[in-house]
Structure 1
Amino acid sequence: MALYALLKAMQVGEGDEVVMPAFTCVVVPNAVLYAGATARYVDIDAKTLNPSLEAIEAAVTEQTKVILVQNTFGLSTEVDRIAAFARERGIRTIEDCTHGFGGTFGGRPNGTWSDAAFYSTQWNKPFSTGLGGFAVVKDPVLRERLEAVNRELIRPGRRQAAMLGLLVRVKSALVNDTTYWPALRAYRALSRRGLVLGSSTGGEVSSTEMPEAYFRGAAAVQAAVGLRALAKLDALSARRRENGLRYNEWMCARGYFNYPDEVLPDHGFLKFPVFVRDRAAFLERAEHAKVQLGDWFCSMLHPVEGDLSPWGLDADHFPVARKAAAAILNLPTDTADPERVLAFLEREEGELVGESAFPGISSTAMG
């Protein structure tokens, strides 16, 4: 929603292109489509899971109005170079910091290198207000336009606010290692049916049509929840980073996917990606072991399965993203017991895919 507001404020519309990764959540290209523009996709680099500057350069056309610079799982890469490249060509940049709040790139907070940035405060993000997000802009003129767009926001009613408050209390009191998996299934099923407030509406993650109540504002209860979460952010960020580095060391020693040393100082490790041979079987074993694995980006346009052509994406043109999405799961980095996660990985090591998962593949771009 914040991305949609930014695009409207930047006057992005019909005939314009927005460059973005072919490895993201479907709500990102949907915001572009809702604004009337076209998504132009870029493959990801196999070592960082982010697009490289080289791939982005190859994707830019005369119609490019915006480049989205995605922070994936807590990692931003080449943001300074991408922003400089865009400025030279009169192209706006927006940092997708839905995974990146509280982290840094090059000693500066994520979201401060580009013309604007948007952040998510939904469940399991760096800090949470239950649902929602926000945008940050630098340009005073753009800020005025954004404020004008925001006057169109639909204010949440009492029912939505009460339901959100209830969900926050339930999650805090009842979700733990034992209840995580059944609670996750129940929540997703209910949110798809519109019976509870989900991270996104069913239509927003299943079609290209803008849902009726898509452009909804925040409720007061979310501010209170967010302030409590922010008070814990520094400690939680430190834990995520410590656990992420521990996982990276374990993976590197055994020849599985790991991040190169040069990007580690800028990684916030919201999640840690792991690639497996049989995802369904691996998830079943994780549930039995009470390990809270995540399934983010199990599709190139998560969580859409199958035909991605309504979003203008041909999976065969983006081999790294396609292979990553086919095998990825996410390790929890906010856990107080990372050794339990590593013990599970050791037991199931035969199911892990090695660094050769992406042999001889380089990033490409295609609209």
Structure 2
Amino acid sequence: MNSSQKYQTNLKSIFGAFDAFTMWKGRVALYAILRVLGIGKGDEVILPGYTCVMDVNPVKYVGANPVYVDIEPDTFNMDVSLLEQAITPNTKLIIAQHTYGYVCDMDELMGIAEKYGVTVIEDCCLCVGSTYKGKLAGTFGIASYFSGQWNKPFTTGIGGMVTCNDENVAQDIQELCENELIKPSFKEVLMLQAQLWVYKALIYPRTTALAQNLFRWLTKKGIVVGSSSNEEFEPKMPENFFKAMSSVQAKEGVKKMKSLEANIEHRKKMSSFYDELLGNKGWGIRQFDSSKQDPVMVRYPVRVKDKQKAIEDAAKHGIELGTWFECALHPIETPLEKYDYEIGMCPVADKACEQVVNLPLHTRVSKKTARRTVDFITKYCEEAFA
């Protein structure tokens, strides 16, 4: 069994899926799902108006139309009370994005989908290990997709994964991959291997801001394998997009699966510690229905008065501060009009984009780092989730 097969077997086992598949990026995984579900021209795909443009691109690549639903202010997930009014006769798919690790209200969402005969898939790119009524996120829809990009729950450098909860979908993805999936180039694999070495050796909370700025510059110059290329900010599929995962990524994935339980436990512990630290300073903490869900956070979101100043000052002081989401279709460079989004369509999401930054929870974050981060960010905080 090679590394890719081992990784797929691990994923299949964790999620109790019919099958699992690995790909170059998370957006490639979404594209594969859309293809086998027959989503195409004129179809409508519902997703939250608080996401990454790389989630919208595959929808455009297959000729479908994205339909955006506003979010809840506390969990940043789709406001399911608005979902039904977004459904039309052309609606073929709902993407349930589990934002920051919070799980969507899956009872209500699945009930509405069943009422109208609409298929549901799950976006678990920001969510690994979270549960809803004791059931893992990623096990509700017909299929789910994940990302192993640098700042996700665990990283394989970049990387995408699909888990299938339907045998026919699994068989169709297997056939699609056998017929159309291409291998990454030797240069791409070599660059990615080098980047993984650098990441392991040099990326810590104090160095993250500097490293991110350098990485973005190198990506634009084509010197490193970035999470997004310049051509991916257009709703036209790039050449050689439908690409397989390399053995380098798969081997890294197998390693990360061995430490997944410890990773999840660390994130839960540090999230609770942020709750404690922020609460002690009089700031609001996370608000979610703990009787329904047990989230494993990828990052800890807070609202600030002046987001841009907070980000700039954090970089100067060696504070790791995430910018998700810079606009309704992150990142800020996205030409929103090309993706059928206008400011004001999702006002709660637009407000969140103006206010929300997020605090690190990865395994290199210690309690000392968390204290330093909270001491810094509370100078800029609004009362959280107000």
Distance 1:113 1:209, change over 3 A: same
Alpha-carbon distance in 2 for matches of 1:77, 1:95: 9
List gaps (5 residues or longer) in structure 2: 1-27
The C-alpha deviation readout for 1:47-103, integer Å capped at 9, x for no partner, is: 211112211112111110000001101111211331232123221101000011222
TM-superposed deviation, 1:265: 4.3
In structure 2, what is the equivalent of residue 23 of structure 1? 50
- Pick from 344, 352, 356 the counterpart of residue 381 of structure 2: 352
Counterpart of 1:144 in structure 2: which amino acid? Q
Alpha-carbon distance in 1 for matches of 2:377, 2:154: 31
Moved more, 120-129 or 43-52: 120-129
TM-superposed deviation, 1:252: 4.8
Alpha-carbon distance in 2 for matches of 1:211, 1:295: 26
In structure 2, what is the equivalent of residue 86 of structure 1? 113
Alpha-carbon distance in 2 for matches of 1:251, 1:135: 36
In structure 2, what is the equivalent of residue 326 of structure 1? 354
- Pick from 295, 298, 301 the counterpart of residue 270 of structure 1: 298
The C-alpha deviation readout for 1:194-243, integer Å capped at 9, x for no partner, is: 22111122222x22121112211111111111111111211111111111
TM-superposed deviation, 1:325: 0.5
SS at match of 1:76: coil
TM-superposed deviation, 1:132: 1.2
Alpha-carbon distance in 2 for matches of 1:6, 1:322: 28
Confirm or deny that 1:3 pairs with 2:7.
no
- Pick from 162, 175, 194 the counterpart of residue 222 of structure 2: 194
CA RMSD of aligned residues (A): 1.9
Distance 1:56 1:190, change over 3 A: same
Alpha-carbon distance in 2 for matches of 1:306, 1:235: 36
**Where do 1:56-71 residues align within 5 Å?**
56-71=83-98
* Aligned residue pair count: 356
Alpha-carbon distance in 2 for matches of 1:60, 1:194: 41
- Whether contact under 8 Å (1:193, 1:202) holds in the other structure is no
**Where do 1:1-367 residues align within 5 Å?**
1-150=28-177, 151-204=179-232, 206-252=233-279, 254-256=282-284, 258-262=286-290, 265-305=293-333, 307-334=335-362, 335-355=364-384, 357=386
Counterpart of 2:167 in structure 1: which amino acid? P
Counterpart of 2:311 in structure 1: which amino acid? L
Alpha-carbon distance in 2 for matches of 1:339, 1:152: 48
List gaps (5 residues or longer) in structure 1: 358-367
Alpha-carbon distance in 2 for matches of 1:218, 1:306: 26
Alpha-carbon distance in 1 for matches of 2:385, 2:200: 40
Alpha-carbon distance in 2 for matches of 1:264, 1:289: 38
Percent pairwise identity? 33
Report the TM-score, using the length of structure 2 for normalisation.
0.87
Counterpart of 1:231 in structure 2: which amino acid? K
